[in-house]
Amino acid sequence: MRFRMAGMINDSIVDGPGLRLSVFAQGCPHHCEGCHNPKTHDFSGGEEKDTAEIAGELSKNPLCAGVTLTGGEPFCQPGPMAEIARAAHALGKNVWAYSGWTFEELQKDAEKLALLKACDVLVDGPFVLSQRSLALKFRGSRNQRIVDVPASLASGGIVLWEDPWDAL
């Protein structure tokens, strides 16, 4: 399935736990002030890619813990992003996604909800420059939540992700 991609980073350690393949979707409607990736905002920018190429990259690295769908706004391309998520799960890898929309907002649209259901963890909410902190793990501003998606969907409320390394 074809989609627009701004870029990809192998072995990322900042977009979720472990070594990750970070896929940057092209296009974002949020335009958050202070966005660290403004080149991803233009929906016609980036390059066209096929989800099979991403699945191939995922399968090359046995040390890769998972894929992170970021951007831009991955939920603006829910079909291809869900396909990448399914490919990651088929390889035994986890799926993180970043969105400027909240968990609650994503549930209101059937296509976005389908992608949400394919994710293990969602970092939600817009980046808010006045709440920026470099001390936060896996998020840029204090308003953003790290949501355990399956647990939240099952409970009907927000269940925050707990880093297993914090318990050690």
Residue 72's SS3 state is coil
Q: Where in the sequence is the domain holding 6, given as residue range(s)?
A: 2-167
Residue by residue, pLDDT tens for the chain (168 residues) are: 999 999 999 999 999 999 999 999 999 999 999 999 999 999 999 999 999 999 999 999 999 999 999 999 999 999 999 999 999 999 999 999 999 999 999 999 999 999 999 999 999 999 999 999 999 999 999 999 999 999 999 999 999 999 988 876
**Residue closest to 39 by CA, chosen among 11, 2, 5:** 5
Distance CA(146)–CA(96), nearest Å, equals: 10
Distance CA(81)–CA(132), nearest Å, equals: 27
**What is the tally of structural domains in the chain?**
1
CA distances from residue 20 to 64, 66, 67, 113, 118 in whole angstroms, order as listed: 5, 5, 5, 23, 17
**CATH code, domain carrying 52:** 3.20.20.70
Say which residue the tokens 């420059």 belong to. Answer: 129
**Residue closest to 68 by CA, chosen among 125, 18, 105:** 18
Tokens of 107: 């549930």
Distance CA(138)–CA(147), nearest Å, equals: 12
DSSP 84-124: HHHHHHHTT-EEEEE-SS-HHHHTTSHHHHHHHHT-SEEEE
